[in-house]
C-alpha cells in the first residue's frame, strides 16, 4: 500500500496528480470531500506561500550580510579612533575614560591552580590502571597534571610520593605498575606559578 509522502517536495506533485485524476474520472469519483478545483486552489496557495518564504529567506540573508558588513566597518572605525586616542594621551587611563575607554590593563600574576577534584580509578588490571579526575574549580588555569604514587601504609621515613606520569587531559592510563602491592595515587595541577593543592587519594592493588 502506498505511503503518504513525508518530503515537502513530493506533496505538490501528488496534489496535482490527484486533482487531475479526480477531474478526468468524475463518473467514478463524483463527490470527493475536496473537489479538484478546490484542491488545485489549495496547491496554488501553497506554491505562493513557498515562493514568498524563499523570497523572504533571500532578503533575510541579504540583510544579514549587510548588517555584518556594517558591523565590520563600525569595528574598524572604532579601532582607528581608539588607537588614535591611546597614542594621543599615551594611554592615560583618566583621559581615556573621558571617551568611554580605558588605558592598558595592569598585568595580573597567574595564580597556581586550585585542588584537583574527584580523583577516581574506575578501571584497572594486572599492572595497570586508568585514573580520571575533574579540573580545579578555582585558581589559575592548569598547564598540566602530575600523577604521584606511593606505597600504602609505608613508614614515615619512606613515605615519599613519586611522580609517575604527567597528563595534559584530566585522565591518565598508567602501565608497568607494581603488582600485588597496595598503592596510593594522587594528582596535582601545575602551571607556571607552581603546583596546586593535592587531590584526594585513591588506593588500589594491581
Number of domains in the chain: 2
**Using CA atoms, how far apart are residues 29 and 21, in angstroms rounded to an integer?**
9
Q: Which one, of 130, 120, 147, 146, lies nearest residue 206 by Cα? A: 130
**CA-CA distance, 21 to 32, in Å (whole number)?**
11
Query: Which residues share a beta bridge with 139?
Result: 113
Determine, yes or no, domain membership for 108: no
CA 117 to chain CA mean position, Å? 22
Q: What pLDDT, on the 0 to 100 scale, is given for residue 138?
A: 94
pTM above 0.85, yes or no: no
Q: Is residue 98 part of a domain?
A: no
155 occurs within a structural domain: yes
Q: Looking at the structure, tell me whether residues 121 and 50 fall in a common domain.
A: no
Residues 12 and 72: their CA atoms lie apart, in Å, by 43
The last residue of one of the domains, among 37, 59, 84, is: 84
Q: Is residue 89 part of a domain?
A: no
State whether 125 and 80 are in the same domain. Answer: no
Q: Are residues 123 and 74 in the same domain?
A: no
For residues 73 and 153, membership in a common domain is answered with: no
Q: Annotate 66-94 with DSSP letters as a single string.
A: HHHHHHHHHHHHHHHHHHHHHHHTTT-HH
| Cα 23 to Cα 123: distance, rounded to the nearest angstrom | 72
Residue with cell 549587510: 66
Same domain, residue pair 151 and 79: no
Q: Could you read off the pLDDT tens digit of each residue along the chain, which spans 206 residues?
A: 788 998 999 999 999 999 999 999 999 999 999 999 999 999 999 999 999 999 999 999 999 999 999 999 999 999 999 999 999 999 888 898 999 998 766 667 889 999 999 999 999 999 999 999 999 999 999 999 999 999 887 655 456 899 999 999 999 999 999 998 899 999 999 999 999 999 999 999 98
pLDDT digits (tens, 9 = 90+) for 6-26: 899 999 999 999 999 999 999
Domain membership of residue 70 as a residue range: 8-84
Amino acid at each position: 500500500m502506498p505511503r503518504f509522502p513525508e518530503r515537502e517536495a513530493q506533496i505538490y506533485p501528488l496534489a496535482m496528480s490527484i486533482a487531475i485524476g479526480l477531474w478526468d474520472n468524475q463518473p467514478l469519483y463524483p463527490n470527493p470531500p475536496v473537489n479538484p478545483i478546490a484542491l488545485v486552489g489549495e496547491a496554488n496557495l501553497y506554491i505562493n506561500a513557498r515562493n514568498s518564504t524563499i523570497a523572504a529567506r533571500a532578503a533575510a540573508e541579504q540583510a544579514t550580510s549587510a548588517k555584518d558588513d556594517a558591523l565590520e566597518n563600525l569595528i574598524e572605525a572604532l579601532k582607528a579612533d581608539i588607537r588614535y586616542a591611546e597614542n594621543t594621551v599615551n594611554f592615560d587611563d583618566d583621559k581615556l575614560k573621558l571617551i568611554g575607554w580605558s588605558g592598558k590593563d595592569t598585568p595580573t600574576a597567574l595564580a597556581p591552580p586550585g585542588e584537583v577534584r574527584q580523583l577516581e580509578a574506575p578501571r584497572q588490571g594486572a599492572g595497570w590502571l586508568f585514573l580520571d579526575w575533574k579540573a580545579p574549580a578555582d585558581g589559575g588555569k592548569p598547564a598540566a597534571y602530575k600523577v604521584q604514587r606511593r606505597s600504602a601504609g609505608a613508614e614515615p621515613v619512606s613515605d615519599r610520593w613519586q611522580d609517575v606520569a604527567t597528563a595534559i587531559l584530566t585522565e591518565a592510563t598508567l602501565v608497568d605498575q607494581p603488582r600485588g602491592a597496595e598503592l596510593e595515587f594522587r594528582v596535582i595541577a601545575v602551571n607556571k606559578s607552581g603546583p596546586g593543592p593535592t587531590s584526594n587519594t585513591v588506593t588500589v592493588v594491581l
